[in-house]
Structure 1
Amino acid sequence: MKNILLLILLFCTGITQAISQDFVKQMDAYANNGEYAKVDSIYTLAHTQIDYDTHPVEALDVDVTYAIYLDAQNKFPQSRLLIAQIRKEITKMRETIRDAKTLKRIQELEAMATYELAYGLWLDNKIKEAKETADQAIEQSVALNDSSLMSEAYNLSGVIYRRLFMLDKAIASYQKTLKIAENQQNYNLASIIISNMSTLYNDMDENDKAIIISRKQFSYPLDTLSMKTHTNYLGRLCNHGIFLSNTHYYQAALDTFRIAEACLRENSPASIRFYLYTHHIKALQETGRIAESLQYCRKALRYRDLPQNPQNKANFDYLYGYILFHNTDSLIQAYRYAASATDFYRTADSLNILFSKSLLLLSEIEAQRNNLSTSASLAKEAYEKEIARQKDKYHKRLAGFQAELETQEKDLEISRLNEKRAIEKTGYQIRTYTIAGILVLVLLLSAILMIHMRKRKIAFRLKQMELEGEIKEKEAKSRLLASEMSKKMTEQYLKGLEDSNNRISKELHDGICNELLSIHMQINQSEQKQLSEQLTQIRKNVRNLSHQLSTPQFEHISLYDMLLLYTEKLNLLGSPQISSYISPEVKNVILLPEKILEVYRIIQEAVSNTIKHAHAQHMYLTTSRQDGQIEIIFEDDGVGFNVTLVEENELESGLGLRSIKERIHQLQGTIQIESQPGKGTILHIQFPV
């Protein structure tokens, strides 16, 4: 009967573990598709079937997974609260669970939760708290000898140190991560770490070190069949060429760019081609090969207007404007490209070194066009921006030194505390050994005394027997005398024994017991202090509550289908209802997935603003195509707002409208907003196909 019950228990445990793993897999699948509402539903369902009391490890696994996806949605406070609950439950489990395998799994989940807490704090820009938590994650992963989590924790620590401008410590963390990745033969991670280290050395103006460490990644095995791996390889070649160019090894840089160009495929991404051509142009221009650089400018122009990293696009515009101005008669084109680069740097990257250079280029162009006042104004602005850039670089480096100094002071304080604890421990051991020695001595003296008394007793008995033999003739009198003598001697013996016992008892009570009581009180006080420190740490971790929102995939869906599916989904959710009209011409529109995503985010933000702020009963969406333009009209019957007031004061517009305008700018489109208080709102959006 007991065997049957044991089999049933094992079977139920196996089913629960399978169910928990199934919940985790479902959350992973939905999160990868950006369906976080379904992730929430799965998590709620999981907690109805799995709890900490009956299946603690399975419940922890589900909670840690959900905390990860809360950070992915930028729900950092919720994630921190959940991780605090996880840690609290782990503390309880350690008091009740004795199975070694289960305890090890709990430690693994605790380390994962600590790492995720550090990652979320970093995403939430709480850098100092992230650094302390990342150190805890490293300690826990080292204790577990978990090389995968260890490499992730060291890498995160390097990123945090870089943000704090503690560049030496960032390099040290990256080196530890690189060693672990190479031991695991995880060459993709190793290449990423090498790229981070090379860029960091480049930022520190140690370009030779950047080249040396960058060259190492080309010794790793490469799976060229994978497009993703191939694209990463092209990117690494481009970055290596940039490091060579920064160190003025222009010919070596050109050779590297040629190798990268030879490796291009027909389906290589436009962004990597544009990136390669731009830096190839720079190296050619530095070596005076103007004709070749203009050829590569024309190659890059084919991809300029495709979706690109805005930073790379601005860098090309500056470079092309510079070459046009100094080597051709195209003054207007040179001005147009230089102005485009300057506009980007002014709004998005004002501390870029190319910002002051682009301002100087514009100043030269304006001087050539006889606009001397404008030229002087631009030159002055260039000077001011360069001074600001140098100050910012100085302040960041100074902040890094200060942070390193604070860290060293903390390390020194920890060293002092450890030394103090070592001294206290030594003193405690000395006292313990002293008391133990006294106890041994007392026991030894007691044993000697008992042996001596036993010998005396034996001698007394022998003497008594001798006396009994001598007075055998007077048996009656001898017996009486012997009885009296025995009584007297017994009383003396008992009195002596009692005195001895009293003396030993007093010695134990006044000496040894007091010493033991003092030690006992010290131990109790030490435990209370440790418990207080643990409670303080727990309270601190409760206060310290971070993947960017995974992007929906639109590779296999058209603009028409996206709009239709989205509006249908909204109507299923209830009030407010949305009425939509999508022109049949929209069915034939073919857009890149990136542009469909931007349209999706724009409509999503508009609907979100309406629900949160407009208190509307109905929403209307009209989409049509006219003269190569997509026209979207979004309308609601909500409370409306003062458009003029909002446009004059950008702080009043909130993140929603600013996000919509930025995305429309990415689509190279326009937006008109019509609204009055109490009369609803109309968004009129147009962008080219």
Structure 2
Amino acid sequence: MKRYRWALGCCLLLSIGVLWAEGKSDLRALQQEAAQNRNLDSYVKVCKLLYQTEEDPDLLLSYADSIHQLAIDSGKPEIFIEYYIWVSEGYFIKGDFEQGYALKRKAIGLAEKAGLRFTIAQACCDMGYYCNADARYDSARYYFHKGLAAGEGLPGAEEACRTILTNYASSFLFEGQTDSALVYTIRASERSAADKDTAMLIENLNQLGTIYRRKKNLEDCIANFEEALHLCELCGNYNTVAFIYGNIATAYCDWDRPEDAISFSEKALKYALKTDNKRRIGTCYVNLGAILVRMEKMRTEGIDTLLKAIPFLEQVNDRRQLCNAYNYLVNAYRLDGNLDMAMQYLQKLDKLAHEMQTDIERFKYYQAKAALLQESKNYADAIVYYRKIVDMLRNGYKDARDYEHYKKLSECYLAVNNLSLAYNYMMQAYALRDSVFQTEETDQLSEYSVKYRTKEKELEIVSLRREQLEQETYMLRHRIIVGSVISLLGILLLGSLYARQRQRARIALLANAACEKEREFLELQKETEQRLTRKYIDGLESERERMATELHDDVCNNLLALEMNIRTISTEEGADLDKQLDLLNNTRERLRKLSHELMPPVFQYATLDELLADYVLHLSLPEGTHAEYHSTVGVDWNVVPKSISFECYRIVQEAVSNAVKYAGSACIQVELALENNDLSILVADDGKGFDMSRKTKGIGLRTIWQRAETIGAEVELDSSPGKGTRLKINVLI
């Protein structure tokens, strides 16, 4: 039998060595591929493997820097996002959560700017997971909401959404809100089952078992754990099997059955060793050791088991589990009488005290330290930590044996000769103990009283019992009547609340319907206004074109004919006739320019920049007024769509015309700029301006606004008396 055990042990060690060698060979192969290809895919493969093993965060950060260099060389935001994702994971594995949070937020911000919904969902899922691990549950739920908003309905993001739902439920479980955790975990399990995601369903069932364990529901707890184990065995998922067996062991410990818990904790360790996951192995050693040290006859074996956990936890830098291991070792060595070793591990625990995130962890730490200090006769320091325990109890922390802490604090005060506080805390300890054992003591006193009275006055006791029974019967009848009345009132109240709730729901439904109708009406109104605006502008352009044609083909030709006829007249009145001919020629030229301005510009042969430059160059301006035109140099103006060019040209015509007619300015400036698909036009003058709060929009300004609206442009108008007018149009092409 001994040989068999020895051979089994050798096989287990050999299998672990093979798994370790295979993992190392996979890493070396990926590193060689990355060294040869030097591309994003090969670097990401190495990062994924290092992320899964959680063994070498520094190497992970090194490959993340390689991705960063690729991002700098290419300038692509997608590669920068990959860099921030993997470098944040490296810092999270190292335990530097603040740096990890900052880098992960950068990844999410870049993904939002680039509109990468899948990346947003994945990054928010990871961010929420780490917030859960760091006991930042409100922040975790914020990122889970954001991830679900990005991933819901997106093809390929189903797995991320299922993970988010599960971790969202976990946040309530970690926070102690078991009712909310149960509701959301059931929803997550239904989603996983519907999507046929076995791995996530196993996680949901395991979480349900944990919730039912905390709610003291043994039947549902074991049922969910067994179903999860069955699915794990089908999938060969040893890591989750180890986790589930650990939860079952914890459940038996909660029910004060540590002997039954040992076998399940050993199974958990057995499966954890198969995974080669050091964090899982270390956690399983801690759980098994914690169970063993509770039993005096197995305390030495428990200490050895806890010591085996420490190297694994130190390799993955799991400081919170190290705190648990050190805590159990402090208590075990103290109970075993080895105070020097207990003090040695207490010093290690003190160095990690800042890593404790929950009240449970802090309470266990104070409890272990106070007990060891008291046993070491360091009463002054022990008082400090017993006071912290008492403060936590007074602030609402629950402990079934709270009176013992008051009693030990009293003993410490007595040891330092503070008799007043020693008496005070001892009385509080007795009061708490009396409240715990009140029922038991009352029963004992009643028994003694009955025996005494039986010896003295047996007949009187019988009479008193009869009166007591009659009184109890009367009270029972009274309670039944009162209970019936209360039940009836409760039913009526529930009915009233149900009717009120239905009424609220109906009102909310009607309100939603009204809001929907109002939204449809506003959309229809907006569409109608746009259609009428477009129709108005199209009619305006048609009328401009007709007037231009009439002026050019009819009026200008008639004036030309008139000029030629007049020149044929006798030269007797030559001097006066020359003046009239010059006037007639100027009138014909002005009409010709006016007709050209009214005609729609032809963007097929010229760009917006060329047409505006020509327009400003040939403006007819009053004496003392000049116009300037500027545009962005080195820009391909052909990228501006014809529809936008046309409306912008008309807007400039209208704005310049208003400046010439009303501003009385010395200089009119027209600027055209294009930068990153953002087209802007500025028309400014240094004229007399106007008061925008009093002056109503005329036809010209209304036309500018309507044209800008048809192309989705923004209009900025700024003017004040004596300071000119400034009109700016911004449109994204």
Q: After TM superposition, is the score higher than 0.5? A: no
Higher relative contact order (CA 8 A, sep 6+): 1
TM-score (structure 2 length as normaliser): 0.39
- Which has more radius of gyration? 2
